[in-house]
Amino acid sequence: MTTSVSDQPSATEDHTGQTPDPRTADAVSQDVLHVPKGASLALLRSLLAPARGRVRLTVLVLLLQQAAVQAGPLLVAYAIDRGVPAVRRHDYGPLIAVGTAYLGCALASGLLMHAYIQISARVGQNALLDLRGRIFRHAQTLSVDFHERYTSGRLISRATTDIESLRELLNDGLQELMGIAVSLFLVSVTLIWLDWETGVVALLSFTPLWLLVRWYGRRSLVIHRNKSTAIAAVIVKFTETINGIRPVQAFRRERVNDAHFDRLNSRHRETNRAAMTAMAWYVMTSRLVCNVSLAGIVVWGAYRVADGGLALGVLAAAVLYLRRLYDPVDQLGMFLNSYQSAAASLEKIAGLLAQRPSVPEPAAPRPLPNRPAARPGREVSFRGVSFAYRTGGEVLPRFDLTLPAGQTVAVVGSTGAGKSTLAKLLARFYDPTEGEVLLDGVPLRELSGPDLRRGVVMVTQEAFLFSGTIAENIAIGRPDATRADIERAAKAIGAHDFITAMPEGYDTDVRKRGGRISAGQRQLVSFARALLADPAVLILDEATSSLDIPGEQAVQRAMHTVLRGRTAVIIAHRLSTVEIADRVLVMSHGRIVEDGPPAELIAGTGRFSELHRAWRESVV
């Protein structure tokens, strides 16, 4: 058994709460996923790895650019010292040389800046594109169970606001950092060259600055971690409200929500304020250290000039360079701020990416055996299967079950009997705790994703429509389907009429989750999807609950032809479904208590015959 302890499904469906609370101190639902040590840096490195050459290039370009910029004052000095006397001698050579050099530096600094922005944007944007894709794709491999606990809001936050803080770092961070490094280096070399004693003393003043930087770095990482969590909470609330706007308004939740949102919003605001305040303290104290050092060095220099230990001109130049030595200290603060903000976000993202899917794809998938064209279905067998939630509540005790290829099986039983769990095991939403589910003798966990979905498709009662057209929504079943295929599927299921009655027919945009398409119509669309997918095994979990009777009958007629020869598992409360079934399984408390052809069970005295009678009475 390879199921990891942390990723077992929680209480997700029809079982009436015999599980202990699966949520208290759950890292996923608390937004505190475990992050392997160093994972965020490793992530950053892996994002930048393909651009290693470009990163080096940006460093080089920026170095040259800084050199061009720093050359200005040196050229001025040369012009005054050499150029002016030469001009007095009517020697215009140095003048022209200085002028040309200055012009060259000016153009070079502009061009290099231009180049730098382009290259670094490419590096940054490629990394972001890569990371967005990784988040999206990874999220799709994680199990349904994970998403139920992590919530869409948090995932959105990872893919938007957390990406945004990385974008800020990549956009400006490298430039800031390089600017700081280059100017620190050049200025301190110049200082030491001018007068090594001043230079060394100035560099000594960096010790308190370094301590300050360390304090600030740690503090801002803590703040930004809180901030990332806080904005995610805001987003979760935001999306929940927008997606539930009808009940929000109908039940007058506006004011209660306002108050709750204000709480979350002000928690986020506090983290923002804390970040800005920490920055303020950093800027103030670092400036203070710099300015006090500057005053000290000037006074000390004055004494050395008085003693004759230092030339006045050298001190004058050194003093001007000193100011510039301290200039980047502020920028360092800004850089640290965006770096720690990005680090906190990368931690969150790395935590998400480190989640292993609880139903992993096999490393070496096994192919499904070829099936004869005459036999569209496949055999399903549950071998020694049992299933329990990760918190220990057993839903399905160990059982064996074989569904021969081509059989249509109805699964009935009261709420909490384990019907949906059985279906989800077959669709491999979960893996069993023990035993194997086999499709034509191949364990589901050894099938590749595409093979699995050609083999088994599941239609659930929540018929979700994605934004896009109706045709696109049906085509989810088979992406390469032609329009004719799509229409055929819709016709077969009785959805064609309502679709063509819409303003743009199949090209009608369903808008935001189909606000105007009724629940019944959505179920028809999702049925059409399933027909188009044409799987060997079709699972229908309460897939007709919102249909009216003619609709349901149309679906059943379609099923009659479509399912012929195909293996099908149908879960339905309405026992009308049973009429198209070859076999009925009655479940109770996770066990299969009755199993047989419908007519036989109805004629008997068991639960099913009782249920059937009750249902007959309900459809008067």
Partner 1 sequence: MTGTEEEKPAAQRRSTVRSLLRLWPYVRPVRGRFLGAVAVATTASAMSLVIPLALKWIVDGPIADKDPSGVWLGGLALLVLGVLEAGLFGVRRMMVAGPLTGVEARMRAALYRRLQRLPVSFHDQWPSGQLLSRGTTDLMLLRIFLAFGVTFLVVNGLTIALGFVILLLQQWTLGLVLLAPVVPLVILCRYFEVSYSRAARTAQDQVGDLTTVVEESVLGIRVIKGFGQHRGQERAFAELSARLRGTEMHKARLLGVLWGLIMALPEVAIGAALMLGMVQVADDHLTAGALVAFLSTALALRWPVESIGFLLAIANDAAAATDRYMQVMDAPLPSPDPAAPATAEPPLPGDGLRMTGVEFRYPDAPPEAPPVLRGIDLHIRTGETMALVGATGSGKTTLTALIPRLHEATAGRITLDGQDIAALPRERLRRLVSVAFEEPTLFSASAGENVLMGTDEAREEELLRALAVAQADFVHDLPEGHRTQVGEQGLSLSGGQRQRLALARAVVGRPRFLVLDDPLSALDVHTEALVERALREVLATTTALVVAHRPSTVLLADRVALLSRGRIAAVGTHQELLHSNREYARLMSGQEHHPQAEGDARR
For residue 371, the number of C-alpha atoms closer than 13 Å in the C-beta half-sphere is 21
Q: Where are the alpha helices (DSSP H) in 563-606?
A: 598-603
Pick out residues in 442-471 that bind partner 1 (CB under 8 A): 449-450, 452-453, 457-464, 466-468
Interacting residues with partner 1 between 343 and 402 (CB under 8 A): none
Q: Of 32, 67, 117, 222, which one interacts with partner 1 (CB under 8 A)?
A: 117
Query: Judged by CB under 8 A, does residue 45 bind partner 1?
Result: no
Closest approach, Cβ 405 to partner 1, in A, equals 21
Q: Decide if residue 609 touches partner 1 (CB under 8 A).
A: no
- The site that binds partner 1 (CB under 8 A) totals a number of residues, namely 199
Piece of 207-215, 378-386, 571-579, 581-589 that binds partner 1 (CB under 8 A): 571-579
Sequence-distant (6+) residues with CB within 8 A of 423 are: 411, 458, 539, 541, 569, 571
Q: Which of residues 428-447 bind partner 1 (CB under 8 A)?
A: 429
| Selected range binding partner 1 among 150-158, 197-205, 366-374, 437-445, rule: CB under 8 A | 150-158
Choosing from 287, 371, 383, 591, the residue that interacts with partner 1 (CB under 8 A) is 287
Which of 33, 43, 62, 139 is the binder for partner 1 (CB under 8 A)?
Answer: 139
State the Cα torsion 427-132-7-586 to the nearest 10°: -20
CA 486 to chain centre: 31
Buried-exposed string 432-449: b where 16+ CB fall within 10 A, e elsewhere: bbebbbbbbebbbbbbee
Would you count residue 268 as binding partner 1 (CB under 8 A)?
A: yes
| One-character DSSP codes across 464-494 | ---SSBHHHHHHTT-TT--HHHHHHHHHHHT
Q: Whose Cβ is closer to partner 1: residue 409's or residue 572's?
A: 572
Minimum CB distance to partner 1 smaller for 398 or for 502: 502
Q: Which two tokens stand for residue 551?
A: 């609709």
Task: Considering the complex, state which of residue 438 and residue 611 has its C-beta at the smaller distance from partner 1.
Answer: 611
Q: Is 134 in the site for partner 1 (CB under 8 A)?
A: no
C-alpha torsion angle, residues 385, 387, 390, 394 (rounded to 10): -130
Q: How many angstroms separate the CA atoms of 326 and 308, rounded? A: 27
Q: How far is the CB of 180 from partner 1 (least distance, A)?
A: 14
Q: Which stretch binds partner 1 (CB under 8 A): 41-49, 191-199, 364-372, 519-527?
A: 519-527
Nearest CB to partner 1, comparing residues 177 and 476: 476
d(C-alpha 600, C-alpha 421), whole Å: 26
Binding mask 74-93 for partner 1 (x = CB under 8 A): -xx--xx--xx--xx-----
Q: What spatial distance separates the first Cα and last Cα of the chain, rounded to whole Å?
A: 49
Of the pair 37, 252, the CB lying nearest partner 1 is at 252
Span near partner 1 by CB under 8 A; candidates 187-195, 319-327, 381-389, 592-600: 319-327
What count of Cα atoms within 13 Å lies in the side-chain half-sphere of residue 221?
A: 11
CB of 2 to partner 1, least distance (A): 19
Determine if residue 146 is left, alpha or beta; phi over 0 gives left, psi from -120 to 50 gives alpha, anything else beta.
alpha
Name the strands in the sheet holding 583-588, side by side, starting at the edge strand that comes first in the sequence. 456-459, 537-541, 567-571, 408-412, 583-588, 591-596
**Closest CB to partner 1 among 147 and 383?**
147
Other beta carbons less than 10 A from residue 53's beta carbon:
9
- The answer to whether 312 contacts partner 1 (rule: CB under 8 A) is yes
> Taking CB under 8 A as the rule, does residue 239 contact partner 1?
yes
Q: Which is nearer to partner 1, 269 or 589 (CB)?
A: 269
133 binds partner 1 (CB under 8 A): yes
Q: Does 482 bind partner 1 (CB under 8 A)?
A: no
Report d(CA 446, CA 434) in Å as an integer.
Answer: 15
Q: Which of 203, 281, 443, 609 binds partner 1 (CB under 8 A)?
A: 281
Contact of 412 with 419, CB cutoff 8 Å: yes
Q: Is 215 in the site for partner 1 (CB under 8 A)?
A: no
Tell me: does residue 106 bind partner 1 (CB under 8 A). Answer: yes
Which residue in 45, 52, 214, 512 binds partner 1 (CB under 8 A)?
512
Neighbours of 550 (CB within 10 A): 9
* Touching partner 1, residues 160-189 (CB under 8 A): 160-161, 164, 172
Q: Is 25 in the site for partner 1 (CB under 8 A)?
A: no
Q: Are 8 and 386 in contact (CB under 8 A)?
A: no
Q: Which is nearer to partner 1, 233 or 409 (CB)?
A: 233
User: Which residue has tokens 């800084």?
Assistant: 66
One residue of 185, 193, 196, 303 binding partner 1 per CB under 8 A: 303
Nearer to partner 1, 41 or 614 (CB): 614
Cα separation, 33 vs 62, in Å, equals 38
